[in-house]
Structure 1
Amino acid sequence: MEITKKNFSEQLENITKNLKRSCFVGFDAEFTAILSGDCFKYRLFDTNKERYDLIKDEVSKMIMTQVGLTMFQYDRDHDSYIAVGYTFHLCPQVVADIDQMFIFQASTLKFLCRYNFNFNKFIYDGLPYLSKVEEAHIRQQLKDKTLVGSLIHALTMEDERKLQKYCSEVSKWLTGKDEETMYLDIECPIMRYIVHNEIRQRFTDVLTTDSLGNSNKVLIYRDKYVEGANSAPMAILEDNLMSCLLGFSQIIDLLATHQKPIIGHNNFLDLVLLHNQFIGPLPKKYCTFKKNINSLFPIIFDTKYISHEMRKRLTFDEVWKSNALQDLYEFFSEGKCKKLESGVNFIKLSTPFNVKQSYHEAGWDSYCSGYCFIRMSHWAACDNSGKYRPVGPSEKLAALAPYCNKVNVIRGAIPFMNLVDVDPPRHRPELLHIKSMKERIINVGKITSVLAGLGSIDVKPYGKKTALIAASTQYTADKILNQFQNDREYRISPFNVIKHTPAGRMAIWGSALLTGSLLLFLLHRRVTK
């Protein structure tokens, strides 16, 4: 189901109920930009901290335009799952002195157009949101009684004219008509809040309240002491305003409150964006970022990382085509996994998607992530017990517990980000050191081209005539060393800190000088005796 600001309020209760009933939640997001260019190229040299430092400033300019959530509910009687999928359309907002900004890359626009992204829903119907930092700022202004002034100050000339028009209508009604009540139909929640405050200030004898039957209507009573009327304290109006401003952030709060396991696919970048958009500006320290995410969502599974680990249990002929979400989903949904021929849970979408047009649509991808999680966790649980049989959600989660809070890192020196502990040590082969024997300045592009046929590698300069090589596997590293063992143009050897760093060489020379000086001193003493 698609959720926009048109149906969010009426669906919020159902969304909450479905979330409470779920045993885990599939998650996916679509962005306004894709990190591209040489400066954002993922390299085998990168540690997770370096990767985070590389992208955090650029990611702060990006936003999620869609968030997909699929809530998987277990039916114990039929040993099956009902999947309730939602696609939330989001759009930044302007409120008081907060003016949310983002970039939209042309390449991303082209990509989204290819997958039929609806830009009208994004712009006209997208849900607002506030980060925790922005929410705290607005609430402080409410407490200080300065928010109304900030909101009025930020009004456009057109909105100022609308405000004056509403006040004029109230004035005419008070002086020329006998009706005890009147309505003002105001769609914008910010304008609605301003009108409440302005009318109460200008016309001290009236009572204003939000109409219970229509959230867009401001109900005005001629007599503020009228019997049976809701007193509409300002606190209620402020709560109504905050609910409207928070929008999708209320869903993030629900996820955090109920702490359902979150299932994503390759969600390193999703989590970085999620922090920036819903928690606050990305912290300088990578460890602080991890701590903040884990505090919000303490149970996260990444099906990309799990699939990398699980494929090690299969032979070459049995394994899926690639670890891309679409290939992984089709492998399991088409029954190609020989490990899952019996005892598999039936999974049904409560509202079917159009598969041919739905990939890279956040709701569908969130369903695919959860689907793959159910299949891999079933396989893992049966492997652990030694037989293939029905497996419930608790046992599924327990079977994949070793992969919990471990998020895949694309083409880096470290295989995953550990959200609850120190990241694992480097898993790539030791770096190689290359020295040009003929060139005055080493040509990194030429080296990359020469080595490309030997396997996946990255090369970076390390001085005028030297560079470092990172290989994806030990097989590739050994192949490079063997190939260039007697090469006259390049000398390649395993990188040695003492031998190949200036500090190491200085230490060697310093040690040699010290040893030589000591020997000369001892020799001199012996001669002079």
Structure 2
Amino acid sequence: MEITRKNFVEQFDNISKNLKKSCFVGFDAEFTALLSGECFKHRLFDTNEERYDKIKSEVGRMIMTQVGLTMFQYDREHDTYVATGYTFHLCPQAFGDVDQSFIFQASTLRFLCRHNFNFNKFTYDGIPYLSKAEEAQVRKHLADNMMFKNLTRMLEMEDEKLLQSHCSDVSKWLSDKEEDTMYIDVASPVLRYVLHNEIRLRFPEVLTTDSLGNSNKVLIYKDKYVEGANNVPLAILEENLMSHLLGFSQIISILEQHQKPIVGHNIFIDTVLLHNQFIGPLPKKYSTFKNNIHKMFPNMFDTKYISHVMAKKLSYDEVWKSNALQDLYEFFSEAKCKKLQSGVNLIKLSTPFDVQQTYHEAGWDSYCSGYCFTRLGHWAACENIGKFRPVGPAEALAALAPYSGKVNVIRGAILYMNLEGDDPPRQRPDWLHVRALKERVLNVEKLASLLAGLGSVDVKPHDSRSALLAVATQYTADKILRQFRDSREYKISMYNVYRHSKRARVAVWSSAIITGSLMLYIFHKSVKG
């Protein structure tokens, strides 16, 4: 189901109930920018901390325009999973001192157009949201009684005219009309809050409340002390305003409160965006970022990383074409996994998605991620049990518990980011050192071209005549060393920091000289004494 500003309030209770009843939640997001540019080039040299430092400023300018959530509930009686999927359309907002900004790349626009992205739903019907930092800022202004003043000062011209028109109508009604009550229909929750306060300020003898639960209508009584009616408390007006401003952030809060396992596919960038959009500005320290995400979502799973590890248990003929989401979903949904030919739990959607089921549509991708998770969990649980049979979500989650908090890292020095503790040590082979034998200045592009056919290799200049190589596997490292063993153009060897780094050699010699000088001084003092 598609959720926009138009039906968010109406569907909120159903979404909340489905979230609370779910055993885990599939997640996906679509962004306003493609991951292009120098900082997004994935290199085998990069540690996770270096990767985070390179991308945080750029990702901090991006937003999620769509969030897909699919709630997987377990029907114990029929031993099946029932999936309820939602695509939430989000749009940043300007409110008081909060003015959310973002970048929208032209290349992203082309990409979204190719995938039939609905820009009207984004701009006109997108659901607002606030980060925790922004929420704290707004609540402080409410507590300091500054919100009403700030809003009236920053109203747009059209809203200002509408406010003045409504107040003029109230003034005329108080002077001319015999009716004891008056209704004003105000669609904007922000303007409705301002109007309640403005009327009470200008006309202290009247009473304002909502219209029998119709939140769009402001009901005004001439008599402030009329029997059976009360001024709607300011605290309720403020909470109604906050509920509107928080928008989709309320869904994030429910996920956080109930600590439902969150399942996505290749979600490194997603976690950075989640922090920036729903927690606050990205922290300088990578460790702080990880701690904040883990505190909010203590049970996160990445099917990209899980499938990477579990693929090692399959033979060459059995394994999936790739562990991209589409290939992985089709591998499981089309029963290509020989280990899961029988005894698997049926998975069905409670209602079909409103839009065509295509990849890069957040709701559909969130369903695919959750679907793959159930199959990977079934496979892992059955291996633990020793036989293949239907398994419940508790068994599947227990079997996949070792993968909790491990988020896939594309083409880096370390295979995953560990949200639950320290990242693992470097898992790639040691670097190789290349020295040009003929060229006075090493041609990096030429070298990279020569190495391209030998495997996954990244080249980084070291000095004018040398470079460092990072490789994905030991097989590739060994192949390069064999291939260039007798080369007359390049000398390639295992990198040794003391042999190949001038700084390290200087540091070693400096240390030796200082140590030697100190020893001579001590010896001289002892002889003299």
**Could you tell me whether the CA contact under 8 Å between 2:305 and 2:406 is conserved in 1?**
yes
Describe how 1:81-230 pairs up with structure 2 within 5 A: 81-230=81-230
In the aligned structure 2, how far is the partner of 1:27 from the partner of 1:357?
16
**2:335 counterpart letter in structure 1:** G
Q: What is the match of residue 449 of structure 1?
A: 449
1:302-329 per-residue CA deviation (whole Å, 9 max, x = no partner) reads 0000000111110010001111101000
1:250-288 per-residue CA deviation (whole Å, 9 max, x = no partner) reads 000010011110010000100100100000000000000
**Could you tell me whether the CA contact under 8 Å between 1:210 and 1:237 is conserved in 2?**
no
**Could you tell me whether the CA contact under 8 Å between 1:28 and 1:68 is conserved in 2?**
yes
Structure 2: 5+ residue stretches without partners: 522-529
CA shift in 2, pair 1:439/1:516, >3 Å: farther
In the aligned structure 2, how far is the partner of 1:356 from the partner of 1:224?
54
Residue 508 of structure 1 and its aligned partner are, at CA, apart by 5.3
Residue 110 of structure 1 and its aligned partner are, at CA, apart by 1.0
TM-score scaled by length of structure 2 = 0.96
Q: What is the match of residue 300 of structure 1?
A: 300
**1:97 counterpart letter in structure 2:** D
In the aligned structure 1, how far is the partner of 2:483 from the partner of 2:508?
30
Q: What is the match of residue 458 of structure 2?
A: 458
Residue 81 of structure 1 and its aligned partner are, at CA, apart by 0.7
Describe how 1:13-92 pairs up with structure 2 within 5 A: 13-92=13-92
Q: What is the match of residue 332 of structure 1?
A: 332
Q: What is the match of residue 262 of structure 2?
A: 262
Q: What is the match of residue 525 of structure 2?
A: none
1:176-197 per-residue CA deviation (whole Å, 9 max, x = no partner) reads 1011111111111111111111
Q: What is the match of residue 351 of structure 1?
A: 351
Q: What is the match of residue 526 of structure 2?
A: none
1:89-143 per-residue CA deviation (whole Å, 9 max, x = no partner) reads 0000010011100011111111111111111000000000000000000000001
Report how many aligned residue pairs link the two structures: 521
**Could you tell me whether the CA contact under 8 Å between 2:437 and 2:490 is conserved in 1?**
yes
**1:403 counterpart letter in structure 2:** Y
CA shift in 2, pair 1:512/1:270, >3 Å: closer
CA shift in 2, pair 1:517/1:174, >3 Å: closer
Residue 515 of structure 1 and its aligned partner are, at CA, apart by 11
**2:468 counterpart letter in structure 1:** L
Q: Identity percentage over the alignment?
A: 71
Between 274-283 and 205-214, the greater mean CA deviation after superposition: 205-214
Structure 1: 5+ residue stretches without partners: 522-529
CA shift in 2, pair 1:460/1:157, >3 Å: same
CA shift in 2, pair 1:116/1:515, >3 Å: closer
**Could you tell me whether the CA contact under 8 Å between 2:318 and 2:338 is conserved in 1?**
yes
Q: What is the match of residue 8 of structure 2?
A: 8
CA shift in 2, pair 1:224/1:262, >3 Å: same
Residue 514 of structure 1 and its aligned partner are, at CA, apart by 8.7
Residue 357 of structure 1 and its aligned partner are, at CA, apart by 4.4
In the aligned structure 2, how far is the partner of 1:513 from the partner of 1:167?
85
**Corresponding residue SS for 1:504:** helix
Residue 370 of structure 1 and its aligned partner are, at CA, apart by 0.4
In the aligned structure 2, how far is the partner of 1:499 from the partner of 1:325?
44
CA shift in 2, pair 1:474/1:94, >3 Å: same
1:384-430 per-residue CA deviation (whole Å, 9 max, x = no partner) reads 11101110110000000110110000000000000011000111110
Residue 510 of structure 1 and its aligned partner are, at CA, apart by 5.1
1:411-467 per-residue CA deviation (whole Å, 9 max, x = no partner) reads 000000000110001111100111112222222111111111111100111111111
In the aligned structure 2, how far is the partner of 1:422 from the partner of 1:221?
62
**Could you tell me whether the CA contact under 8 Å between 1:434 and 1:490 is conserved in 2?**
yes
Between 285-294 and 459-468, the greater mean CA deviation after superposition: 459-468
**1:323 counterpart letter in structure 2:** N
TM-score scaled by length of structure 1 = 0.96
In the aligned structure 2, how far is the partner of 1:281 from the partner of 1:511?
43
1:47-106 per-residue CA deviation (whole Å, 9 max, x = no partner) reads 000000010000010000000000001000000011000100000001001110001111
1:177-234 per-residue CA deviation (whole Å, 9 max, x = no partner) reads 0111111111111111111111000000111122244221111111121111133110
Give the CA RMSD over aligned residues: 1.9
**Could you tell me whether the CA contact under 8 Å between 1:457 and 1:469 is conserved in 2?**
yes
Q: What is the match of residue 291 of structure 1?
A: 291
Q: What is the match of residue 437 of structure 2?
A: 437
CA shift in 2, pair 1:234/1:515, >3 Å: closer
1:360-402 per-residue CA deviation (whole Å, 9 max, x = no partner) reads 1100000000000000100100011110111011000000011
